[in-house]
Amino acid sequence: MNKKLSIIFLLLWISMSHSQETISFSGYFREDFRTIRLDEKTANFLFIMEKGSVFLPEWAYFLELLPADAERLQQKTALIIPLFKDDICYTYDTLFTIEATLVPSTENTFVAKKIYQNNKIIAQYPDDLNETFPSIYQLMQEGKPFSHRQLSVYEDLRDIPLWIDQLNNKDSIPFISEIIWHGVNKDGKMVAGSEYYQKKMAVADVAQQILDKLYRFKYDFPIPKNPTAKDYKIWLKNILNTDITEKICPSKTHTFRVRKEGYGNSLRKNNNPQQRNIMFLSSPSEGKQLVELDPVTFTEKNIPTEAISSIKSFYLNNEALYILKDFPDIVWQKYLQKGQEGNLSYKKQKENILMPKTKGNKLVEVRESLFTENVLYLCYKISNTYKALLINTKTGEKIKEINLSKLLPKDDVIDFIRVGRIGETQISYLPIIISGEKRKYQVNLTQNGASSLIDLGEKYTHWGIYFNGNPSYYLDSKGGTLYKYPISQEWEPEALFTDNFLDSVIAIADEKYVNVIYNTTDAFFEKVLLQRLDKQTLKKIGDPLCLYSYLVMENRSSENTPVNLLAFKAYGKWNVTFEIGNFLHWVQVQQ
């Protein structure tokens, strides 16, 4: 969705959140639409939205909008979080009208309390719920017993402000306890049954058990130890006064759909730092394979190419597009732009088969590859032997082959290798971490061959982002802390700063800073942040910049959380890209 439309939806949410206004739209629930199991984070904003009294829903449902509403909302579907009884959402191919409120930081997700059919209300919250499943507080007011099981309904957070006032109430109220039994009768047959007993419980004890459910919020909104009624009131006031809109990042973001076919075909970034525009290569799709991002106009452009599959890496300069493929053989290819102005596309001009995919009966596995301006580095495994092949980027000719297995001491063999992610924009070498059966090693490949082997010992395991220097080091996160790991035999990790690191962390240096970009979470949103470190001391410079925020509606997975974080600097500004599902998000850092 473009920037202008995103701003419209943000303003719409701000307006609704302060006035509790609703929006109406109509559509159909469809049997072939999937449902969404809500993430725990949704409980936070629903609790605030409902002023501390809510029965939390578990699922959300897609509604196919009528054409007029789809045009008005600029969406074909709306994701509905129903507070009313959700069995209605399983009534398919029936026209419903829904009144709902937009969820913060989303463009098509709504919390719904009322639903109509043929201009008649068929469900509304909380009236229907209070009739079919009265709250314990409501039953207490009516002098009726409640079921003891109801105390353990984790989603029932109704009447929390009222229960706080009952913490010191020593009166008793009735409840019904159920005992389920089973056994064997005198005839040897299995029998079972249940019995019900009416007992009494102190109101204060009921209140405490209900308030104990609030501990689901304790990580985002800490609750004092052994809280009193006064503590609960202060806590509740603070959480209900939270302005969710202040947590949304004011970022300049451009989002568009990309084509991917499984994890192995995610986008690949051009490794040419001279290119002011960033280039991505994805799976073949109707001439939309090569995507150019223009940092000046903040727009994307599709550049036509022949369909290219099985891509391991690529390099693009003003002269040509260079490709490394690993199927059906290991192949270097060169593509040139051909055609008339306005109708140019990349066509294959030359290729060189570097090696067959199989040698004899042995499979050649490409483990790592990297294009630089002059050299393509290719690391592969055949049988139990690891080798590196250096290839001329522009001609495809082999420069040198290095047997990595022979670099190790005679009493050790390679278990596996990894390539360090490089934290520099000008890349002319390839750092390789070799994990032997006994020890770990570091070696850099350059266009002249392999550097001396560095013995890292037995315990070196943190291979994050590599920085070349004296000494060289890696940055990597562990347990919510970013550490510096020097490349030396006598090494000790150095803690740099702590945050709630999630899945993705990258770091890249410019003239003054090491820029650490990572995804994290707060009480409501998952976020992508940028923390600057002094290039020499690695000390924090100011607070992190928030680049992007979004509410994770569905339980977290690789499909709904940022992956493949990448960064490039153009015209003095950092640009950050990452993928969420089938969308590429591109953020331009404004500071």
Instruction: Calculate mean pLDDT across residues 454-478.
Output: 80
Residue 418 and residue 355 in one domain: yes
Residue 110 and residue 222 in one domain: no
Domain closes at, from 436, 470, 504: 470
Tell me: the pLDDT tens digits for 478-503? 888 999 988 876 778 899 999 988 87
What token pair was written down for 357? Answer: 């995919």
Residue 193 and residue 330 in one domain: no
Q: Which residues, 6+ apart, have CB-to-CB distance to 521 below 8 Å?
A: 41, 500, 502, 527
Q: Which residues, 6+ apart, have CB-to-CB distance to 64 below 8 Å?
A: 27, 28, 29, 30, 33, 76, 77
Domain closes at, from 81, 115, 131: 131
How many other C-beta atoms can be found within 10 angstroms of the C-beta atom of residue 543?
A: 9
262: in domain: no
Residue 124 and residue 144 in one domain: no
Predicted pLDDT of residue 377: 93
154: in domain: yes
364: in domain: yes
553: in domain: no
Residue 70 and residue 147 in one domain: no
109: in domain: yes
CATH of the domain at 57: 2.40.50
40 burial type by CB count under 10 A (0-12 exposed, 13-18 middle, 19+ buried): middle
577: in domain: no
Residue 238 and residue 338 in one domain: no
Instruction: Calculate mean pLDDT across residues 118-126.
Output: 95
Residue 317 and residue 385 in one domain: yes
Domain closes at, from 470, 504, 530: 470
Tell me: the pLDDT tens digits for 519-566? 998 888 889 999 999 999 999 999 999 999 888 788 877 777 888 888
Structural domain tally of the chain? 3
272: in domain: no
User: What's the chain's Rg over C-alpha atoms?
Assistant: 30
148: in domain: yes
Residue 97 and residue 228 in one domain: no
What pairing do the DSSP bridges indicate for beta strands 540-550 and 526-534?
antiparallel
446 burial type by CB count under 10 A (0-12 exposed, 13-18 middle, 19+ buried): middle
Is there a contact between 171 and 144 (Cβ–Cβ < 8 Å)?
no
Please tell me the pTM assigned to this model.
Answer: 0.83
Residue 55 and residue 163 in one domain: no
Residue 241 and residue 316 in one domain: no
Tell me: the pLDDT tens digits for 234-256? 999 999 999 888 888 887 888 87
Residue 76 and residue 62 in one domain: yes
Could you list the beta-strand ranges (E) of 44-148.
54-55, 59-65, 77-82, 95-102, 109-117, 120-124, 146-147
Residue 372 and residue 387 in one domain: yes
Least confidently predicted of 31-35, 64-68, 297-301: 297-301
Q: What is the mean pLDDT of the chain?
A: 86
The whole domain housing 177 covers 134-247
Predicted pLDDT of residue 18: 41
> Nearest-CA neighbor of 268 among 281, 284, 258?
281
Tell me: the pLDDT tens digits for 385-433? 999 999 999 999 999 999 999 988 888 888 888 877 777 777 778 888 8
